[in-house]
Amino acid sequence: MTASSPPLSSTIRTDAVASSFATSYAGVVAFMTVVAEGSFAKAGDRLGIGRSAVSRGVQKLETQLGTRLLSRTTRSLALTREGELFHARCHPGVAQITQALEDLRELRDGPPRGPLRISAPAGFGRKVVAPLLQGFHARYPDIALDLALSDAAVDFTSDRVDVAFRNGRLEDSQLIARQIVPMQMHVCAAPDYVKARGMPATPDDLVHHDCINYRMASGRARDWEFKVQGETRKVSPASRLTFNDAELVLQAVQRGQGIAQMPAYQISALLRSRALLSCMPQYAPDDSGHYICYLSRQHLPSRIRVFVDHMTTAIRALDLQCPAAL
């Protein structure tokens, strides 16, 4: 069976063609497959459906177009003149759609490749995420990584983000969020500061100390949080210094300019070496976490899946928690 490519006849109205594509793409696919295979039975085998389903799809398409596309008897099958015209116009579009489907299947099931846009809070991204990207890239060289550091809340759709790291407590129920490690927050001070000013024994003692605050992307200084008798207590201490960069907060603490409440991933190594001292560890909150987030578990591209798994394993292997004995 052959199909020529003459100009589209006025027998098939443009609006009918548009309607058939919009409402019965399955019928178009069935028709094109019958032409390619030469029979309804072979078309059903290729599509993974029964012969009768293929026949119904073609019949529905013919009804929508108001014309017969195939002339069929018990022994033969041939394109009508209208069928030749319709096939000639449909073939390029169906071929492109088929190729697009194959490309997407390869992205999903083949070796991970393609662009991956990642968002992370500035401090956590710079200290933890960025150093691990080299190892990931060595393992998956066909994935192009784009890391954006921002403490502002990201919108997965408008910011075109594939994976986001988030700290604290998550309230967005639309996201799939995997906790990587708990997020510990500790008040810390340099030994010289403690020698000169002592340590606060309770959250109420903060009024007697030089506190260094961190200003969030919202413009507000971040509250200091404590666990007091099983309840979360927030404190907004008057600050001697305020920075909108966590690294600057840490540098000021190390210089002995004051005390600050900081996440464990920034200070755990300094606490172990006694370069910094932990204050009030018994009041440290324990209900926050570091999360890796994405939009859906369904139809997850392989480049996202391998990144989430790799980074979760790599970050958990790091020693980001404060030592038990401080």
Which segment, 30-44, 99-113, 143-157, 256-270, is predicted with the most confidence on average?
256-270
Q: Which CATH number fits domain 185-283: 3.40.190.290, 3.30.470.20, 3.30.565.10, 3.55.50.30?
A: 3.40.190.290
* Same topology between domain 114-182+289-317 and domain 185-283: yes
Which residue would you say has higher pLDDT here, 255 or 89?
Answer: 255
For the chain, the domains span 18-109, 114-182+289-317, 185-283
Lowest mean pLDDT among 17-21, 258-262, 266-270, 277-281: 17-21
Percent of the chain whose predicted confidence (pLDDT) is above 90: 47
State the pTM of this model: 0.66
pLDDT score for 106: 58
- Asked if pLDDT for residue 277 goes beyond 80, the answer is yes
Helical axes 40-47 vs 25-37, angle rounded to 10°: 120
pLDDT tens digits, residue range 50-72?
888 888 888 888 888 888 888 87
**Residue 82 structure tokens:** 């209208």
> So what's the pLDDT on residue 101?
65
pLDDT digits (tens, 9 = 90+) for 75-125: 778 888 888 888 888 877 776 776 666 556 655 666 788 899 999 999 999
Integer Rg of the chain from CA = 31
pLDDT at 205 over 50: yes
CA 66/CA 104 separation, integer angstroms: 34
Q: Give mean pLDDT, residues 225-252.
A: 93
- The sign of the torsion formed by the CA atoms of 110, 114, 117, 120 equals positive
Q: Which ranges of the chain would DSSP assign to H, the alpha helix?
A: 14-23, 25-37, 40-47, 51-65, 81-109, 122-124, 130-139, 191-197, 246-254, 264-272, 302-317
Spatial separation of the C-alpha atoms in residues 37 and 39, rounded to whole Å? 6
The fold of 114-182+289-317 is D-Maltodextrin-Binding Protein; domain 2 (3.40.190)
The average pLDDT across 7-30 equals 56
Model pLDDT for residues 140-189, shown as the tens digit of each residue: 999 999 999 998 888 887 888 999 999 987 776 678 889 999 998 999 99
Structure tokens at 292: 């890796």
Is CATH 1.10.3720.10 the right assignment for the domain spanning 18-109?
no
- Statement: residue 192 has pLDDT above 90: yes
Q: Under a CB-based contact definition with an 8 Å cutoff, are residues 24 and 61 in contact? A: yes
Residue 128 carries which DSSP code? I
